[in-house]
């Protein structure tokens, strides 16, 4: 997406995929990574059984516990904060928590392969994206894999200009997660910024908006069926203390200092996407971008929207923002375009470091203790490591690849181990 910003991404030779643009190599690559991940987890469990706890019960913590309750007993008022597609699919399949987790991983592998195939990602891009740590939720009894697959339908439909697929992806997205309040503005932003023929784009936009509201309506009806209350979702949000308010500073996370630091880059990325969307609106609302930019504009609007909604409703507690941002096809698409198109100089990397440190100091009170400051400095270092994969010099990009993959994979495994030990991860 940053390739749309000429000041940041000047004209370059774009990195292209080296394998033929067929689905099979993408599926083999994604499937091989997911299989290797499962085997690695099994090996670690055999070597360190006290640290992993690979049992049925270990997969039933946090949101998974609520999905399991909905699957077995249906909804009560509090659990209408969760939407029905995933728990009802789990009920229909009638499998264990571990089995549904593996099925989720398989669904993610296929969806990721479709995305890589349609957007012609290189092997290098695929490797970097598959090691995003928050993808651990694709191997848990969470709705992330279903939401990811639904989002892939949206992005492929926008790329191929297939209206029925666009609408289907939006309906599924809005029945798998309470995303309509973010999806609807993203649909409008895509129309305003990436439809040069506004008259021709009006009908697809109205249809997409209707599909978004249909997905929300299906969820509302399901909630009413079980609770006897219309729009009980809003009552559930009050029970979860989600309401419009100014975020309290310093920003935090109830999972502790590590989780606060893990959420921090997601906030910075989301705010950057919001700023980028505003810049595009200023530059292109009169002269929209070409149709090829629609998937990137939609992705930018989603990441910006979910970040602003989290900031506006959580009171400064960044609960699950990293999951809402990173574990989506929208973020992966933006990251892939960043790696493909953007080339950063040393001066720009230093500017990025300065921006991060100012953000940590201003919003997270990183100055409170030397350990806190050092922890956020490590976060800055990890982000810079990822950014080195978009460095101007090819040798730097090559040298940065392996450490990035190792750090990403290690963090993913560590977060998974924390989850299995009933610790909050996102």
Distance of CA 84 to the CA centre of its chain: 19
pLDDT tens across 116-168, in order?
Answer: 999 999 999 999 999 999 999 999 999 999 999 999 999 999 999 999 999 99
Instruction: Write out the two tokens for 268.
Output: 């910075």
pLDDT tens across 240-271, in order?
Answer: 999 999 999 999 988 888 899 999 999 999 99
- Cα–Cα distances in Å, from 313 out to 78, 237, 244, 426? 17, 9, 5, 16
What pLDDT does 105 receive?
98
Q: Are 172 and 153 in contact (CB under 8 A)?
A: yes
* pTM over 0.85, yes/no: yes
Local confidence band at 54 (pLDDT 50, 70, 90 cut-offs): confident
- Can you spell out the DSSP letters for 302-320? HHHHHHHHHHHHSTTB-TT
pLDDT tens across 362-397, in order?
Answer: 999 877 778 888 889 999 999 999 999 999 999 999
How far is Cα 292 from Cα 298, in angstroms, rounded to an integer? 11
Reported for 240-243, long-range contacts at CB under 8 A and 24+ positions apart, including other chains, are: 240/78, 240/81, 241/315, 242/81, 242/313, 242/314, 243/313
Residue 415 has pLDDT above 60, yes or no: yes
Residue with tokens 């599909």: 211
Where do the domains of the chain lie? 23-420
What pLDDT does 373 receive?
84
317 bridge partner residues: 252
What pLDDT does 16 receive?
52
């Amino acid at each position: 997406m940053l390739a749309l910003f000429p000041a940041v991404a000047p004209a370059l030779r774009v990195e292209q995929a080296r394998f033929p643009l067929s689905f099979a190599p993408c599926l083999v690559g994604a499937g091989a990574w997911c299989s290797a991940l499962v085997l690695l987890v099994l090996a670690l469990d055999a070597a360190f059984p006290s640290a992993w706890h690979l049992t049925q019960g270990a997969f039933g913590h946090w949101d998974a516990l609520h999905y399991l309750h909905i699957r077995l007993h249906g909804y009560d008022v509090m659990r209408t904060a969760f939407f029905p597609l995933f728990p009802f699919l789990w009920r229909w399949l009638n499998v264990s928590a571990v089995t549904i987790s593996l099925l989720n991983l398989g669904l993610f592998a296929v969806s990721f392969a479709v995305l890589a195939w349609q957007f012609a990602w290189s092997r290098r891009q695929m490797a970097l994206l598959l090691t995003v740590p928050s993808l651990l939720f694709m191997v848990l009894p969470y709705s992330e894999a279903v939401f990811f697959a639904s989002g892939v339908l949206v992005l492929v439909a926008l790329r191929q200009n297939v209206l029925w697929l666009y609408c289907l992806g939006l309906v599924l997205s809005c029945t798998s997660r309470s995303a309509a309040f973010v999806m609807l503005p993203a649909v409008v932003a895509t129309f305003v910024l990436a439809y040069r023929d506004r008259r021709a784009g009006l009908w697809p936009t109205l249809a997409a908006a209707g599909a978004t509201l249909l997905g929300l309506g299906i969820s509302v009806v399901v909630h009413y069926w079980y609770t006897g209350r219309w729009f009980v979702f809003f009552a559930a949000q009050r029970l979860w203390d989600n309401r419009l308010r100014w975020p309290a500073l310093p920003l935090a996370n109830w999972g502790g200092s590590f989780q606060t630091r893990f959420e921090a880059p997601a906030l910075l990325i989301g705010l950057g996407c919001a700023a980028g969307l505003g810049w595009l609106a200023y530059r292109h609302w009169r002269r929209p971008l070409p149709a090829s930019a629609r998937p990137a504009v939609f992705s930018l609007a989603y990441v910006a929207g979910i970040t602003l909604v989290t900031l506006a409703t959580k009171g400064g507690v960044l609960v699950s923002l990293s999951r809402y941002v990173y574990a989506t096809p929208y973020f992966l698409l933006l990251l892939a375009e960043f790696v493909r198109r953007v080339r950063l100089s040393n001066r720009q990397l230093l500017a990025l470091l300065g921006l991060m440190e100012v953000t940590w100091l201003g919003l997270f009170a990183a100055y409170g203790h030397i350990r806190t400051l050092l922890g956020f400095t490590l976060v800055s270092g990890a982000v810079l490591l990822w950014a080195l994969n978009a460095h101007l010099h090819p040798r730097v990009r090559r040298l940065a690849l392996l450490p990035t993959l190792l750090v990403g994979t290690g963090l993913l495994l560590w977060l998974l181990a924390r989850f299995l030990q009933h610790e909050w991860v996102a």
